[in-house]
Amino acid sequence: MANARIRLIQPTVELHDAFLECAFEFGSGHRDGFATDSLTDEDLKDRATFAAWIATRLSYADETTLLPPDRVHDTLSWIVDEREPQRILGSISLRHRLNDFLLQVGGHIGYGVRPSARRKGVATAALTLALDQAKALGLRQALITCQDDNTASARTIERNGGALEDIRETPDHGTVRRYWVQLN
């Protein structure tokens, strides 16, 4: 992946098989930034359910879409190398606003890179692009969080200008590092 040219693309049903390959590479672990928590692996495999999920996720980026009270508008993108755009390397979610949960735990941006693409600069490049999206939305700063023991993610955030605000214990999500990135 040397000299990768990372891009963020809009999710599409045409990349269903590539998405499954990427998502299932995580095994039974959580897929940060994928926004698949409401779906089972069987749901993801079903083409009709997957297509409906994509349509719903794309609607979340539209500020006029009415959302459930516990949700915020967000832009979900898939991470690809432009030289191999049919292979999804990961996923990244940019939340347009923070609710209380996101302020405490989740932040403005969540991301995950498939295990075979890690340690190659993919997360750093993707986060840079997501921060550009955040700036384009008018955000002046972005909160990005990671688990305290996730040193790779902490380095990625710090490479993108993240200033550590604090490290907190949370009731359901362990110890979380909270960083702010200034966008202006």
Q: Could you list the mean pLDDT of each consecutive 10-residue stretch along the chain, which spans 184 residues?
A: 80 97 89 88 96 96 93 97 96 97 96 96 97 98 97 97 97 95 94
Question: Does any domain span residue 176?
Answer: no
Residue 59 corresponds to which tokens in the numbers above? 């609607």
Q: Which residue has the tokens 């039974």?
A: 28
Question: Does any domain span residue 175?
Answer: no
- DSSP assignment of the chain: -TT--EEEE---GGGHHHHHHHHHTTTTS--TTS--TTS-HHHHHSHHHHHHHHHHHHHTTSTTS---TT---EEEEEEEETTSTTSEEEEEEEESS--HHIIIIIBSEEEEE-GGGTTSSHHHHHHHHHHHHHHHTT-SEEEEEEETT-HHHHHHHHHTT-EEEEEEEETTTEEEEEEEEE--
Question: Does any domain span residue 22?
Answer: yes
Question: Does any domain span residue 104?
Answer: yes
For residue 4, the model assigns a pLDDT of 65
Interstrand relation of 74-81 and 174-182 (parallel, antiparallel or unpaired): unpaired
- Our count of domains for the chain comes to 1
For residue 3, the model assigns a pLDDT of 53
Question: Does any domain span residue 99?
Answer: yes
Partners of 111 in the β-ladder: 92
Domain of 33? 6-139
For residue 158, the model assigns a pLDDT of 98
Partners of 80 in the β-ladder: 7, 88
Cβ-based neighbours of 135, under 8 Å, separated by 6 or more: 183, 184
For residue 28, the model assigns a pLDDT of 78
Partners of 26 in the β-ladder: none
Question: Does any domain span residue 159?
Answer: no
Question: Does any domain span residue 55?
Answer: yes
Question: Does any domain span residue 94?
Answer: yes
Angle between helices 122-136 and 151-159 (to 10 degrees): 50
Residue 78 belongs to domain with CATH number: 3.40.630.30
For residue 84, the model assigns a pLDDT of 94
